[in-house]
């Protein structure tokens, strides 16, 4: 499956999807978004893939939607095509975990794309921002909603209203990213995390993803009920028996996704 704006590599059950438009700091144009949605669907459908790492270059994860392409659009065009919504829905439908490995700029749609992933590992050179206000628009693929849930109202308002960038240290302090590592170690760290996830039972991995994401969509009481039922259901699996037996026998568990 050929991609012009992505590099895709599968090793150790991990699909690494690298945004690759260096001439435009990985700006998200229609072609890249279509290819990214396709690559995500392919990773979801490929039994060899157990975790996904989404990354960019050292200079930029993605500097936002492609302003050159976007500048010519009319209201009717963005409204009728539901600009980038079908592509983002494909990414959000992926049930396997997606780690964003972010170095350099993650701005506008780039920051929003990172936030659609399950967690973000950042390099110490990462810069996050929602500068759409400088272009006379607002975030369009989740920024006002997701950033607010990650960092709270005050900082989210600050970022969206001033358009300023946040460095990696501030992003970690505010809960936007899970860890910050030196730029040269970014991919090693992301791959280590992905390989670790790939070793787990996919039944529990997918259940964790569903349950944590549920916390954004529902009340605490309903979320806890969902979690409790998911916990109960996992006792119907061989992997639960294996995981607990392995602990008691002081050996590594051999999960078989059953």
Residues near ligand HXC, by CB under 6 A: 24-25, 27, 63-68, 83-84, 105, 107-109, 131-132, 135, 139-141
Minimum distance of ligand HXC from residue 29's CB (angstroms): 8
Q: Which residues pair with 180 in a beta bridge?
A: 122
Comparing every residue's Cβ against ligand HXC, the nearest one is: 108
Minimum distance of ligand HXC from residue 141's CB (angstroms): 5
- Our CB check for ligand HXC shows the closer of 135 and 246 to be 135
Q: Judge whether 132 counts as a catalytic residue.
A: yes
Minimum distance of ligand HXC from residue 69's CB (angstroms): 7
Minimum distance of ligand HXC from residue 123's CB (angstroms): 15
Catalytic choice (27, 63, 65, 126) = 65
Two tokens at 155? Answer: 């900082």
Question: Residues 189, 179: contact at Cβ < 8 Å?
Answer: yes
Beta strand pairing call for 165-167 and 127-129: antiparallel
CA distances from 229 to 25, 206, 210, 222, 244 (A): 44, 14, 12, 11, 19
- Our CB check for ligand HXC shows the closer of 3 and 61 to be 61
Catalytic choice (109, 110, 129, 140) = 109
Pick from 188, 21, 55: nearest CA to 126:
55
Catalytic choice (87, 101, 110, 112) = 112
Q: Judge whether 238 counts as a catalytic residue.
A: no
Rounded to the nearest 10 degrees, how much is the dihedral formed by the CA atoms of 29, 182, 165, 176?
A: 90
On the 0-12 / 13-18 / 19+ scale of CB atoms within 10 A, 69 is: middle
Which residues have a catalytic role annotated? Answer: 65, 109, 112, 132
């Amino acid at each position: 499956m050929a991609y012009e704006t992505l590099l895709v590599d599968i090793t150790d059950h991990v699909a690494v999807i690298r945004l690759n438009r260096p001439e435009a700091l990985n700006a998200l144009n229609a072609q890249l978004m279509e290819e990214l949605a396709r690559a995500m669907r392919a990773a979801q459908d490929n039994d060899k893939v157990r975790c996904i790492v989404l990354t960019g270059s050292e200079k930029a994860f993605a500097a936002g939607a492609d302003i050159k392409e976007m500048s010519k659009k009319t209201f009717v065009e963005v409204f009728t095509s539901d600009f980038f919504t079908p592509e983002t829905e494909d990414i959000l439908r992926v049930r396997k975990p997606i780690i964003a490995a972010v170095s350099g700029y993650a701005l506008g749609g780039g920051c929003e794309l990172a936030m659609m992933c399950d967690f973000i590992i950042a390099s110490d050179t990462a810069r996050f921002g929602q500068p759409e206000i400088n272009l006379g628009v607002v975030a369009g693929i989740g920024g006002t909603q997701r950033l607010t849930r990650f960092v709270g109202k005050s900082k989210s308002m600050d970022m969206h209203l001033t358009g300023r960038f946040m460095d990696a240290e501030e992003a970690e302090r505010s809960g936007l990213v899970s860890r910050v590592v030196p730029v040269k170690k970014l991919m090693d760290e992301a791959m280590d995390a992905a390989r670790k996830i790939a070793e787990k039972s996919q039944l529990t991995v997918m259940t964790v993803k569903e349950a944590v994401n549920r916390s954004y969509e529902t009340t605490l009481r309903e979320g806890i009920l969902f979690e409790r039922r998911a916990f109960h259901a996992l006792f119907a699996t061989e992997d639960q028996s294996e995981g607990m037996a392995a602990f008691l026998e002081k050996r590594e568990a051999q999960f078989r996704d059953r």
